[in-house]
Amino acid sequence: MFTEVSAGLQSLKLISDFLEANRSLKNYNELESAIADVYAKLHTANEKLASANELILDLQQRNSSLQAKIDDLEREKLGKSEFETEIRKYQKHTFPTGMIAYAIKQEYADSVDDYDYVCKQCADNGKLSKLQPTLIRKIIVCPNCGSNIWIKK
């Protein structure tokens, strides 16, 4: 592309030199041919500039798309590290029914009788979802995945 622009400029210089040397315009055909050559070279250079601009736009779009993905991954990574910090406060707990959840470790419980369980299925998928009591006192439910955990027979 820059080669074509440079060639176009060189041709202009040649025309200028030619005009200087042939002020009488005796060789009009040669001049016309040189001008046509300059136009052709400039046209080629313009086409290459246009396609280079398209390429730049495309690369800018790809760059911003990749930046958005990087931002998403960084947010996800931050979320995972928060999850890792929180899940360490829990330990696996098996209810008398044989069903499993994660129960808050005693040292992290707000009170002695703190009833704090996290859904095992969601925790295995990297989400911290606290199990909620239901009207049926034998069942607690995960608001995220809808799992019912039978805690009493």
Q: List contacts with Zn ion (CB under 5 A).
A: 119, 121-122, 129, 142, 144-145, 147
> Bridge-partner residues for 130, per DSSP?
118
Closer to Zn ion by Cβ: residue 45 or 142: 142
Closer to Zn ion by Cβ: residue 52 or 145: 145
Question: 3-state DSSP call for residue 5?
Answer: helix
Tell the smallest beta-carbon distance from residue 48 to Zn ion (Å): 58
Backbone φ, ψ for residue 100 (5° rounding): -120, 140
H-type helices in 22-150, by residue range?
28-87, 120-124
Closer to Zn ion by Cβ: residue 48 or 127: 127
Tell the smallest beta-carbon distance from residue 53 to Zn ion (Å): 51
**Are 130 and 138 spatial neighbours (Cβ–Cβ below 8 Å)?**
no
Closer to Zn ion by Cβ: residue 46 or 144: 144
Largest CA distance in the chain: 113
Tell the smallest beta-carbon distance from residue 127 to Zn ion (Å): 7
Shortest CA distance to 99 belongs to which of 144, 139, 136, 134?
A: 139
**Are 115 and 130 spatial neighbours (Cβ–Cβ below 8 Å)?**
no
Tell the smallest beta-carbon distance from residue 141 to Zn ion (Å): 9
